[in-house]
Structure 1
Amino acid sequence: MQRRGSGRKGSGLTRGAAAAVAGVLFLAGLLFSTSAGTADGGDIRGGDEDLRGLVVDEGERVADLEAQVAQARSDVDALTAQDDVPGAGEPEASDLAAASQTAPVRGEGLVVELADAPRGTVLGAGYSLQDTVVHSQDVQAVVNALWEGGAEGMGVMDQRVVATTAVRCVGSTLRVQGRYYPPPYRIEAVGDPEQMRAALEASPAVQLYRAASDDLGLVYEVDEQDVDLPAYGGSLELSFARPASGS
Protein backbone atom coordinates (compact mmCIF):
# COMPACT_ATOMS: atom_id res chain seq x y z
CA MET A 1 0.00 0.00 0.00
CA GLN A 2 1.41 3.36 -0.99
CA ARG A 3 1.87 5.81 1.86
CA ARG A 4 0.23 9.22 1.52
CA GLY A 5 1.49 12.49 2.96
CA SER A 6 -0.32 13.97 5.93
CA GLY A 7 -0.79 17.31 4.19
CA ARG A 8 0.32 19.18 7.29
CA LYS A 9 2.50 22.29 6.88
CA GLY A 10 5.03 23.49 9.48
CA SER A 11 5.41 27.12 10.54
CA GLY A 12 8.02 29.27 12.25
CA LEU A 13 11.03 27.03 11.47
CA THR A 14 14.46 28.44 12.30
CA ARG A 15 17.17 28.35 9.65
CA GLY A 16 18.93 25.47 11.41
CA ALA A 17 15.71 23.48 11.75
CA ALA A 18 14.88 24.06 8.10
CA ALA A 19 18.30 22.72 7.09
CA ALA A 20 17.81 19.64 9.27
CA VAL A 21 14.39 18.98 7.75
CA ALA A 22 15.83 19.34 4.26
CA GLY A 23 18.53 16.79 5.09
CA VAL A 24 15.98 14.30 6.42
CA LEU A 25 13.81 14.73 3.35
CA PHE A 26 16.79 14.15 1.07
CA LEU A 27 17.69 10.88 2.85
CA ALA A 28 14.07 9.76 2.83
CA GLY A 29 13.81 10.46 -0.89
CA LEU A 30 16.97 8.46 -1.54
CA LEU A 31 15.55 5.52 0.45
CA PHE A 32 12.21 5.63 -1.34
CA SER A 33 13.85 5.79 -4.77
CA THR A 34 16.07 2.80 -3.94
CA SER A 35 13.06 0.80 -2.71
CA ALA A 36 11.07 1.71 -5.80
CA GLY A 37 13.92 0.62 -8.05
CA THR A 38 14.08 -2.73 -6.32
CA ALA A 39 10.33 -3.40 -6.56
CA ASP A 40 10.00 -2.17 -10.18
CA GLY A 41 9.75 -5.13 -12.50
CA GLY A 42 7.67 -7.37 -10.26
CA ASP A 43 10.40 -9.42 -8.56
CA ILE A 44 10.05 -8.55 -4.90
CA ARG A 45 12.78 -11.09 -4.02
CA GLY A 46 15.28 -9.86 -6.63
CA GLY A 47 18.25 -7.64 -5.89
CA ASP A 48 19.32 -9.24 -2.63
CA GLU A 49 21.46 -12.14 -3.82
CA ASP A 50 24.42 -10.90 -1.76
CA LEU A 51 22.28 -10.93 1.39
CA ARG A 52 20.95 -14.37 0.52
CA GLY A 53 24.44 -15.74 0.07
CA LEU A 54 25.54 -14.24 3.38
CA VAL A 55 22.67 -15.69 5.39
CA VAL A 56 23.02 -19.10 3.74
CA ASP A 57 26.73 -19.18 4.65
CA GLU A 58 25.88 -18.19 8.20
CA GLY A 59 23.17 -20.87 8.25
CA GLU A 60 25.74 -23.50 7.32
CA ARG A 61 27.91 -22.40 10.24
CA VAL A 62 24.94 -22.71 12.58
CA ALA A 63 24.18 -26.15 11.15
CA ASP A 64 27.72 -27.30 12.04
CA LEU A 65 27.25 -26.07 15.60
CA GLU A 66 23.88 -27.82 15.83
CA ALA A 67 25.52 -31.06 14.69
CA GLN A 68 27.99 -30.75 17.57
CA VAL A 69 25.13 -30.17 20.01
CA ALA A 70 23.26 -33.18 18.63
CA GLN A 71 26.35 -35.35 19.02
CA ALA A 72 26.80 -34.19 22.60
CA ARG A 73 23.15 -34.97 23.36
CA SER A 74 23.56 -38.40 21.79
CA ASP A 75 26.56 -39.07 24.05
CA VAL A 76 24.53 -38.03 27.09
CA ASP A 77 21.66 -40.29 26.04
CA ALA A 78 24.07 -43.22 25.63
CA LEU A 79 25.44 -42.68 29.13
CA THR A 80 21.94 -42.35 30.56
CA ALA A 81 20.95 -45.68 28.99
CA GLN A 82 23.70 -47.59 30.80
CA ASP A 83 22.50 -50.10 33.36
CA ASP A 84 24.48 -48.53 36.19
CA VAL A 85 22.79 -45.16 35.83
CA PRO A 86 19.85 -44.76 38.27
CA GLY A 87 16.55 -44.47 36.48
CA ALA A 88 17.87 -45.70 33.13
CA GLY A 89 15.36 -47.51 30.98
CA GLU A 90 12.32 -46.28 32.86
CA PRO A 91 9.33 -45.76 30.56
CA GLU A 92 8.79 -42.31 32.03
CA ALA A 93 12.10 -41.15 30.54
CA SER A 94 11.22 -42.23 27.00
CA ASP A 95 7.75 -40.77 27.32
CA LEU A 96 9.24 -37.45 28.41
CA ALA A 97 11.65 -37.49 25.47
CA ALA A 98 8.80 -38.03 23.01
CA ALA A 99 6.68 -35.31 24.60
CA SER A 100 9.53 -32.80 24.47
CA GLN A 101 10.29 -33.69 20.81
CA THR A 102 13.82 -34.86 21.69
CA ALA A 103 13.21 -38.33 20.25
CA PRO A 104 12.87 -39.23 16.55
CA VAL A 105 9.37 -39.94 15.30
CA ARG A 106 8.07 -41.71 12.23
CA GLY A 107 4.59 -42.44 10.93
CA GLU A 108 1.80 -41.36 8.65
CA GLY A 109 1.22 -37.66 8.27
CA LEU A 110 1.03 -34.68 5.95
CA VAL A 111 3.57 -32.73 3.89
CA VAL A 112 2.66 -29.13 3.04
CA GLU A 113 4.60 -27.08 0.47
CA LEU A 114 4.37 -23.30 0.07
CA ALA A 115 6.04 -21.26 -2.67
CA ASP A 116 5.91 -17.84 -4.30
CA ALA A 117 3.67 -16.99 -7.22
CA PRO A 118 5.29 -17.11 -10.68
CA ARG A 119 7.13 -14.03 -11.88
CA GLY A 120 5.01 -11.65 -13.88
CA THR A 121 1.81 -12.57 -12.04
CA VAL A 122 -0.98 -10.14 -12.88
CA LEU A 123 -2.19 -8.47 -9.70
CA GLY A 124 -5.92 -8.38 -9.14
CA ALA A 125 -7.82 -5.69 -7.31
CA GLY A 126 -6.75 -5.36 -3.69
CA TYR A 127 -3.40 -7.17 -4.15
CA SER A 128 0.16 -5.85 -4.11
CA LEU A 129 3.56 -7.35 -4.94
CA GLN A 130 3.97 -8.31 -1.30
CA ASP A 131 1.04 -10.70 -1.72
CA THR A 132 2.89 -12.73 -4.37
CA VAL A 133 5.50 -14.09 -1.95
CA VAL A 134 5.31 -16.46 1.00
CA HIS A 135 5.82 -14.72 4.35
CA SER A 136 6.76 -16.11 7.73
CA GLN A 137 3.20 -15.71 8.98
CA ASP A 138 2.02 -18.02 6.19
CA VAL A 139 4.43 -20.77 7.27
CA GLN A 140 3.61 -20.17 10.93
CA ALA A 141 -0.12 -20.41 10.15
CA VAL A 142 0.37 -23.87 8.63
CA VAL A 143 2.57 -24.98 11.55
CA ASN A 144 0.04 -23.75 14.12
CA ALA A 145 -2.85 -25.46 12.31
CA LEU A 146 -0.98 -28.77 12.18
CA TRP A 147 -0.26 -28.58 15.91
CA GLU A 148 -3.93 -27.78 16.46
CA GLY A 149 -4.77 -30.88 14.41
CA GLY A 150 -2.88 -33.12 16.81
CA ALA A 151 0.55 -33.39 15.17
CA GLU A 152 2.88 -35.63 17.17
CA GLY A 153 6.01 -34.19 15.55
CA MET A 154 6.84 -31.41 13.12
CA GLY A 155 9.61 -30.49 10.70
CA VAL A 156 10.20 -27.28 8.73
CA MET A 157 12.60 -27.74 5.81
CA ASP A 158 15.34 -30.06 7.13
CA GLN A 159 14.87 -29.21 10.80
CA ARG A 160 12.81 -30.74 13.58
CA VAL A 161 10.84 -28.04 15.36
CA VAL A 162 8.85 -27.91 18.59
CA ALA A 163 5.74 -26.09 19.68
CA THR A 164 7.75 -23.06 20.82
CA THR A 165 9.66 -22.69 17.53
CA ALA A 166 9.06 -19.44 15.64
CA VAL A 167 9.73 -18.85 11.95
CA ARG A 168 10.67 -15.36 10.75
CA CYS A 169 11.33 -13.57 7.47
CA VAL A 170 14.82 -12.15 6.94
CA GLY A 171 14.90 -10.40 3.59
CA SER A 172 13.97 -12.98 0.99
CA THR A 173 14.67 -15.95 3.26
CA LEU A 174 12.99 -17.76 6.13
CA ARG A 175 14.82 -18.03 9.45
CA VAL A 176 14.21 -21.20 11.45
CA GLN A 177 16.24 -21.78 14.62
CA GLY A 178 19.20 -19.76 13.39
CA ARG A 179 19.28 -21.16 9.84
CA TYR A 180 18.04 -19.52 6.66
CA TYR A 181 16.10 -20.97 3.73
CA PRO A 182 14.84 -19.65 0.39
CA PRO A 183 11.46 -20.82 -0.95
CA PRO A 184 9.84 -23.24 -1.59
CA TYR A 185 9.06 -24.11 2.03
CA ARG A 186 8.28 -27.66 3.16
CA ILE A 187 6.44 -28.45 6.39
CA GLU A 188 6.12 -32.08 7.53
CA ALA A 189 3.97 -33.40 10.37
CA VAL A 190 3.43 -36.86 11.85
CA GLY A 191 -0.12 -37.49 13.04
CA ASP A 192 -3.63 -38.31 11.92
CA PRO A 193 -3.84 -37.00 8.33
CA GLU A 194 -7.58 -36.38 8.38
CA GLN A 195 -7.52 -34.42 11.64
CA MET A 196 -4.58 -32.29 10.50
CA ARG A 197 -6.15 -31.66 7.09
CA ALA A 198 -9.37 -30.57 8.80
CA ALA A 199 -7.39 -28.20 11.03
CA LEU A 200 -5.72 -26.66 7.98
CA GLU A 201 -9.07 -26.10 6.30
CA ALA A 202 -10.53 -24.55 9.46
CA SER A 203 -7.65 -22.11 10.06
CA PRO A 204 -8.62 -18.51 9.11
CA ALA A 205 -4.97 -17.62 8.45
CA VAL A 206 -4.51 -20.61 6.13
CA GLN A 207 -7.77 -19.72 4.39
CA LEU A 208 -6.38 -16.26 3.59
CA TYR A 209 -3.27 -17.80 2.06
CA ARG A 210 -5.33 -20.27 0.05
CA ALA A 211 -7.46 -17.42 -1.32
CA ALA A 212 -4.29 -15.64 -2.46
CA SER A 213 -3.09 -18.95 -3.90
CA ASP A 214 -6.23 -19.24 -6.00
CA ASP A 215 -6.03 -15.62 -7.20
CA LEU A 216 -2.27 -15.18 -7.67
CA GLY A 217 -0.82 -18.65 -8.16
CA LEU A 218 0.97 -19.05 -4.85
CA VAL A 219 1.81 -22.72 -4.28
CA TYR A 220 -0.24 -24.58 -1.67
CA GLU A 221 0.10 -28.36 -1.86
CA VAL A 222 -0.92 -30.88 0.82
CA ASP A 223 0.09 -34.52 0.42
CA GLU A 224 -0.46 -37.51 2.68
CA GLN A 225 2.84 -39.35 3.16
CA ASP A 226 4.87 -41.39 5.61
CA VAL A 227 7.01 -38.87 7.48
CA ASP A 228 10.35 -39.59 9.15
CA LEU A 229 11.53 -36.83 11.52
CA PRO A 230 14.85 -36.70 13.39
CA ALA A 231 15.15 -35.80 17.04
CA TYR A 232 15.04 -32.14 17.96
CA GLY A 233 18.58 -30.85 18.40
CA GLY A 234 17.97 -27.32 19.64
CA SER A 235 17.68 -25.82 23.08
CA LEU A 236 14.56 -26.37 25.16
CA GLU A 237 15.30 -23.33 27.33
CA LEU A 238 12.74 -20.56 26.93
CA SER A 239 13.69 -16.89 26.61
CA PHE A 240 11.11 -14.36 27.65
CA ALA A 241 10.75 -10.72 28.52
CA ARG A 242 11.13 -9.59 32.12
CA PRO A 243 9.55 -6.55 33.72
CA ALA A 244 11.90 -3.65 34.27
CA SER A 245 12.93 -3.19 37.88
CA GLY A 246 11.58 -0.11 39.60
CA SER A 247 13.79 2.83 40.42
Structure 2
Amino acid sequence: MRKIYLSLLLISLLSGLLVAWQWRSHLATAALEQQDPALIDIIHSLEKEDASLENTIATLRSQIEAIQKERSQGKGRLAQLQQEIEALKLAAGLTPVTGPGIIVTLDDNIAGAQAAKNSSPTTYKPEDYIIHDKNVLYLVNEIKAAGAEAIAVNGQRVVTSTDIRCVGTVILVNSTRLAPPYEVQAIGNPDVLEAAVQRSVDFSFLKSRDFPVKVTKSLHLTLPAYKGGFSQDYVRLVKAGGQQ
Protein backbone atom coordinates (compact mmCIF):
# COMPACT_ATOMS: atom_id res chain seq x y z
CA MET A 1 0.00 0.00 0.00
CA ARG A 2 2.86 2.33 0.83
CA LYS A 3 4.37 1.75 -2.62
CA ILE A 4 1.09 2.79 -4.26
CA TYR A 5 1.02 6.05 -2.29
CA LEU A 6 4.60 6.77 -3.31
CA SER A 7 3.79 6.12 -6.98
CA LEU A 8 0.77 8.41 -6.87
CA LEU A 9 2.83 11.08 -5.18
CA LEU A 10 5.55 10.82 -7.85
CA ILE A 11 3.01 11.05 -10.68
CA SER A 12 1.39 14.09 -9.07
CA LEU A 13 4.74 15.82 -8.73
CA LEU A 14 5.69 15.13 -12.38
CA SER A 15 2.29 16.34 -13.60
CA GLY A 16 2.67 19.49 -11.59
CA LEU A 17 6.12 20.14 -12.99
CA LEU A 18 4.88 19.58 -16.58
CA VAL A 19 1.98 21.99 -16.13
CA ALA A 20 4.28 24.53 -14.56
CA TRP A 21 6.79 24.21 -17.46
CA GLN A 22 4.05 24.66 -20.08
CA TRP A 23 2.70 27.69 -18.24
CA ARG A 24 6.16 29.25 -18.02
CA SER A 25 6.74 28.54 -21.73
CA HIS A 26 3.45 30.25 -22.56
CA LEU A 27 4.37 33.22 -20.39
CA ALA A 28 7.83 33.39 -22.02
CA THR A 29 6.33 33.40 -25.52
CA ALA A 30 3.82 36.05 -24.54
CA ALA A 31 6.59 38.12 -22.98
CA LEU A 32 8.70 37.70 -26.12
CA GLU A 33 5.81 38.92 -28.28
CA GLN A 34 5.41 41.95 -26.03
CA GLN A 35 9.13 42.72 -25.70
CA ASP A 36 10.36 41.98 -29.31
CA PRO A 37 7.57 41.83 -31.92
CA ALA A 38 10.18 42.30 -34.71
CA LEU A 39 11.69 38.92 -33.86
CA ILE A 40 8.28 37.32 -34.15
CA ASP A 41 7.85 38.92 -37.59
CA ILE A 42 11.18 37.45 -38.67
CA ILE A 43 10.08 34.02 -37.47
CA HIS A 44 6.80 34.31 -39.37
CA SER A 45 8.67 35.47 -42.48
CA LEU A 46 11.04 32.51 -42.28
CA GLU A 47 8.10 30.16 -41.90
CA LYS A 48 6.54 31.62 -45.07
CA GLU A 49 9.84 31.27 -46.95
CA ASP A 50 10.11 27.69 -45.78
CA ALA A 51 6.61 26.95 -47.08
CA SER A 52 7.48 28.64 -50.39
CA LEU A 53 10.65 26.55 -50.71
CA GLU A 54 8.68 23.39 -50.06
CA ASN A 55 6.30 24.33 -52.89
CA THR A 56 9.26 25.06 -55.19
CA ILE A 57 10.85 21.71 -54.37
CA ALA A 58 7.58 19.93 -55.09
CA THR A 59 7.31 21.73 -58.45
CA LEU A 60 10.91 20.85 -59.38
CA ARG A 61 10.33 17.23 -58.46
CA SER A 62 7.29 17.15 -60.74
CA GLN A 63 9.33 18.68 -63.57
CA ILE A 64 12.14 16.15 -63.05
CA GLU A 65 9.64 13.28 -63.15
CA ALA A 66 8.15 14.67 -66.37
CA ILE A 67 11.62 14.99 -67.96
CA GLN A 68 12.57 11.47 -66.90
CA LYS A 69 9.33 10.14 -68.36
CA GLU A 70 9.94 12.01 -71.62
CA ARG A 71 13.52 10.71 -71.82
CA SER A 72 12.28 7.19 -71.17
CA GLN A 73 9.80 7.52 -74.02
CA GLY A 74 12.54 9.01 -76.21
CA LYS A 75 14.84 6.08 -75.48
CA GLY A 76 12.05 3.72 -76.46
CA ARG A 77 11.56 5.55 -79.77
CA LEU A 78 15.33 5.63 -80.32
CA ALA A 79 15.52 1.88 -79.78
CA GLN A 80 12.66 1.40 -82.25
CA LEU A 81 14.44 3.55 -84.86
CA GLN A 82 17.64 1.58 -84.32
CA GLN A 83 15.77 -1.66 -84.95
CA GLU A 84 14.30 -0.21 -88.15
CA ILE A 85 17.76 0.89 -89.31
CA GLU A 86 19.20 -2.57 -88.64
CA ALA A 87 16.33 -4.15 -90.60
CA LEU A 88 16.99 -1.82 -93.54
CA LYS A 89 20.73 -2.54 -93.42
CA LEU A 90 19.95 -6.27 -93.44
CA ALA A 91 17.68 -5.90 -96.48
CA ALA A 92 20.27 -3.75 -98.28
CA GLY A 93 23.06 -6.28 -97.71
CA LEU A 94 25.08 -3.98 -95.46
CA THR A 95 25.50 -6.49 -92.63
CA PRO A 96 27.03 -9.98 -92.51
CA VAL A 97 24.41 -12.73 -92.46
CA THR A 98 24.29 -16.42 -91.70
CA GLY A 99 21.87 -19.23 -92.39
CA PRO A 100 21.24 -22.39 -94.44
CA GLY A 101 21.47 -22.44 -98.21
CA ILE A 102 23.48 -23.72 -101.15
CA ILE A 103 26.94 -23.41 -102.69
CA VAL A 104 27.23 -23.48 -106.49
CA THR A 105 30.70 -23.94 -107.99
CA LEU A 106 31.44 -23.01 -111.61
CA ASP A 107 34.86 -23.65 -113.15
CA ASP A 108 36.49 -23.52 -116.55
CA ASN A 109 36.55 -26.73 -118.60
CA ILE A 110 40.33 -27.01 -118.73
CA ALA A 111 40.33 -30.72 -119.61
CA GLY A 112 37.87 -30.19 -122.47
CA ALA A 113 39.87 -27.24 -123.77
CA GLN A 114 43.08 -29.25 -123.84
CA ALA A 115 41.39 -32.16 -125.60
CA ALA A 116 39.82 -29.86 -128.21
CA LYS A 117 43.11 -28.08 -128.79
CA ASN A 118 44.92 -31.37 -129.34
CA SER A 119 42.27 -32.87 -131.63
CA SER A 120 41.34 -29.81 -133.69
CA PRO A 121 43.85 -26.99 -133.21
CA THR A 122 42.55 -25.04 -136.21
CA THR A 123 38.94 -24.90 -134.98
CA TYR A 124 39.73 -24.68 -131.28
CA LYS A 125 38.15 -21.67 -129.53
CA PRO A 126 39.33 -21.13 -125.94
CA GLU A 127 36.30 -18.94 -125.11
CA ASP A 128 34.08 -22.00 -125.53
CA TYR A 129 35.67 -23.61 -122.49
CA ILE A 130 35.65 -20.82 -119.92
CA ILE A 131 32.95 -19.49 -117.59
CA HIS A 132 31.56 -16.18 -118.82
CA ASP A 133 29.90 -13.35 -116.95
CA LYS A 134 26.51 -14.34 -118.36
CA ASN A 135 26.83 -17.81 -116.80
CA VAL A 136 27.28 -16.28 -113.36
CA LEU A 137 24.63 -13.60 -113.97
CA TYR A 138 21.97 -16.05 -115.18
CA LEU A 139 22.65 -18.34 -112.24
CA VAL A 140 22.36 -15.48 -109.74
CA ASN A 141 19.06 -14.43 -111.32
CA GLU A 142 17.71 -17.98 -111.07
CA ILE A 143 18.67 -18.16 -107.40
CA LYS A 144 17.06 -14.78 -106.71
CA ALA A 145 13.85 -15.88 -108.40
CA ALA A 146 13.83 -19.03 -106.24
CA GLY A 147 13.69 -16.91 -103.08
CA ALA A 148 17.30 -16.54 -101.99
CA GLU A 149 17.54 -13.96 -99.20
CA ALA A 150 21.26 -13.25 -99.58
CA ILE A 151 23.82 -14.06 -102.29
CA ALA A 152 27.59 -13.68 -102.60
CA VAL A 153 29.97 -14.50 -105.45
CA ASN A 154 33.53 -15.27 -104.36
CA GLY A 155 32.94 -13.20 -101.23
CA GLN A 156 31.33 -10.28 -103.08
CA ARG A 157 27.86 -9.61 -101.68
CA VAL A 158 25.20 -9.21 -104.34
CA VAL A 159 23.00 -6.13 -103.78
CA THR A 160 20.62 -4.10 -105.94
CA SER A 161 23.47 -2.13 -107.53
CA THR A 162 25.74 -5.13 -108.15
CA ASP A 163 27.06 -5.43 -111.69
CA ILE A 164 28.29 -8.75 -113.07
CA ARG A 165 30.19 -8.18 -116.30
CA CYS A 166 33.17 -9.31 -118.28
CA VAL A 167 36.27 -7.32 -119.21
CA GLY A 168 38.26 -9.47 -121.60
CA THR A 169 38.53 -12.84 -119.92
CA VAL A 170 38.04 -11.40 -116.42
CA ILE A 171 34.69 -11.36 -114.62
CA LEU A 172 33.94 -8.32 -112.46
CA VAL A 173 31.47 -8.38 -109.58
CA ASN A 174 30.98 -5.06 -107.79
CA SER A 175 33.90 -3.84 -109.95
CA THR A 176 36.14 -6.43 -108.26
CA ARG A 177 38.09 -8.84 -110.46
CA LEU A 178 37.34 -12.49 -109.78
CA ALA A 179 39.09 -15.64 -110.92
CA PRO A 180 37.74 -19.17 -111.36
CA PRO A 181 36.50 -21.26 -109.77
CA TYR A 182 33.46 -19.08 -109.08
CA GLU A 183 31.63 -19.94 -105.89
CA VAL A 184 28.09 -18.64 -105.57
CA GLN A 185 26.73 -18.85 -102.02
CA ALA A 186 23.06 -18.26 -101.37
CA ILE A 187 21.06 -18.27 -98.13
CA GLY A 188 17.51 -19.57 -98.30
CA ASN A 189 15.60 -22.83 -98.37
CA PRO A 190 18.33 -25.33 -99.42
CA ASP A 191 15.95 -27.76 -101.13
CA VAL A 192 14.16 -25.06 -103.12
CA LEU A 193 17.37 -23.32 -104.17
CA GLU A 194 19.08 -26.56 -105.17
CA ALA A 195 16.10 -27.59 -107.30
CA ALA A 196 16.07 -24.18 -109.01
CA VAL A 197 19.75 -24.48 -109.92
CA GLN A 198 19.43 -28.05 -111.17
CA ARG A 199 16.59 -27.19 -113.54
CA SER A 200 18.10 -23.91 -114.80
CA VAL A 201 18.96 -23.88 -118.50
CA ASP A 202 22.43 -22.41 -118.07
CA PHE A 203 23.53 -24.85 -115.36
CA SER A 204 22.22 -27.79 -117.39
CA PHE A 205 24.07 -26.52 -120.47
CA LEU A 206 27.38 -26.27 -118.60
CA LYS A 207 26.96 -29.79 -117.24
CA SER A 208 26.21 -31.12 -120.72
CA ARG A 209 29.45 -29.54 -121.96
CA ASP A 210 31.41 -31.28 -119.19
CA PHE A 211 32.17 -28.12 -117.23
CA PRO A 212 33.10 -28.97 -113.62
CA VAL A 213 30.02 -27.43 -112.02
CA LYS A 214 28.20 -28.61 -108.93
CA VAL A 215 25.65 -27.53 -106.34
CA THR A 216 25.70 -28.60 -102.69
CA LYS A 217 23.42 -27.84 -99.77
CA SER A 218 24.72 -26.37 -96.53
CA LEU A 219 23.11 -25.93 -93.13
CA HIS A 220 25.37 -23.05 -92.16
CA LEU A 221 26.65 -20.33 -94.47
CA THR A 222 28.12 -16.95 -93.56
CA LEU A 223 28.03 -14.18 -96.14
CA PRO A 224 29.96 -10.90 -95.77
CA ALA A 225 28.43 -7.44 -95.89
CA TYR A 226 28.52 -5.34 -99.04
CA LYS A 227 31.54 -3.04 -98.79
CA GLY A 228 31.03 -0.81 -101.81
CA GLY A 229 29.11 2.41 -102.24
CA PHE A 230 25.83 3.39 -103.86
CA SER A 231 26.04 5.83 -106.75
CA GLN A 232 23.11 8.26 -106.83
CA ASP A 233 23.98 11.09 -109.21
CA TYR A 234 20.50 11.82 -110.53
CA VAL A 235 17.95 10.38 -108.14
CA ARG A 236 16.35 12.83 -105.70
CA LEU A 237 14.18 12.30 -102.65
CA VAL A 238 10.53 13.27 -103.10
CA LYS A 239 9.41 15.35 -100.11
CA ALA A 240 5.93 15.66 -98.66
CA GLY A 241 3.53 17.25 -101.12
CA GLY A 242 5.42 15.91 -104.13
CA GLN A 243 8.18 18.53 -103.97
CA GLN A 244 11.77 17.60 -104.72
Q: Normalising by the residue count of structure 1, what TM-score does the alignment of the two structures yield?
A: 0.55
CA contact (8 A) 1:147 1:163 kept: no
After superposition, give the CA deviation of every residue in 1:159-216 in whole Å (9 maximum; x if it has no partner).
Answer: 212144121112222111121122111111111111111221332233333322xxxx
The aligned residue for residue 116 of structure 1 is: 108
Structure 1 residue 87 and structure 2 residue 78: aligned? Answer: yes
The aligned residue for residue 199 of structure 2 is: 202
CA contact (8 A) 1:173 1:183 kept: no
Unaligned runs of 5+ in 2: 1-73, 235-244
CA contact (8 A) 1:101 1:162 kept: yes
The aligned residue for residue 18 of structure 2 is: none
The aligned residue for residue 156 of structure 1 is: 153
Unaligned runs of 5+ in 1: 1-82, 241-247
Q: CA deviation at 1:142?
A: 1.3
**What is the CA RMSD across the aligned residues, in angstroms?**
3.0
CA contact (8 A) 1:190 1:227 kept: yes
Structure 1 residue 146 and structure 2 residue 143: aligned? Answer: yes
The aligned residue for residue 129 of structure 1 is: 126
Q: Normalising by the residue count of structure 2, what TM-score does the alignment of the two structures yield?
A: 0.55
CA contact (8 A) 1:148 1:196 kept: no
CA distance in 1, matches of 2:174, 2:91: 19
How many pairs were matched up? 155
1:188 is matched by which residue type in structure 2?
A: Q
The aligned residue for residue 97 of structure 1 is: 89
CA contact (8 A) 2:116 2:124 kept: no
- 2:95 aligns to what SS in structure 1? coil
CA distance in 2, matches of 1:88, 1:211: 54
- 2:116 aligns to what SS in structure 1? coil
Greater Rg by CA: 2
Answer 1 or 2: which has greater helix percent: 2
CA contact (8 A) 2:163 2:175 kept: no
CA distance in 2, matches of 1:220, 1:239: 39
The aligned residue for residue 190 of structure 2 is: 193
1:4-153 aligned within 5 A: 87-90=78-81, 91-118=83-110, 119-122=113-116, 128-153=125-150
